[in-house]
Amino acid sequence: MLNWSIKKSIRFYLVLLSRKPLSNLTGGRSDLATKANNLFGVKGQYQGQQILMNTDEYENNQRTTIKDYFKVYPSLEIAIQDHSDFLSVGTYATLTNLTNYAEQADLLQKAGYATDPNYATKIKKAIQDYDLAEYDA
């Protein structure tokens, strides 16, 4: 049985695949996904590996495009595991106590997971539109 954080990461990926505006992903075929196996737009470096890419960010509710470094993963499996580990610690660890996807999306928004001021609303809509709430079980 998959642990909680891996199930959440899988649902996260399904949501991102289903809604292009939520990320740079285009069905797993974005430059970030194909060049770096980075399905979630995770910034930073993984075992010293990183790639400089354009990214849309919001500051004062204004969207702007900047360049930033994103993690490069050796495989999709490792990307999913790294993302699930990320959701399991620190600020995001309280997600495990929430069983409602709407509360989880709101917590991610409040914790600064994304700079898009409408991030939580978009995530909740995508989960509803594509019947992804079943992955909460």
What the block records as the tokens of 130 is 């594509």
pLDDT in tens, 9-37: 666 655 544 443 344 434 556 889 899 99
- Per residue in 99-130, pLDDT (tens digit) is 788 888 898 889 998 899 998 898 888 788 87
What are the structural domain ranges in the chain? Answer: 4-132
- Residues annotated as catalytic (active site), given as ranges: 57, 82
Q: What are phi and psi of 96, to 5 degrees?
A: -65, -20
Q: What is the pTM of this model?
A: 0.76
Helix (H) or strand (E) holding 7: helix 4-18
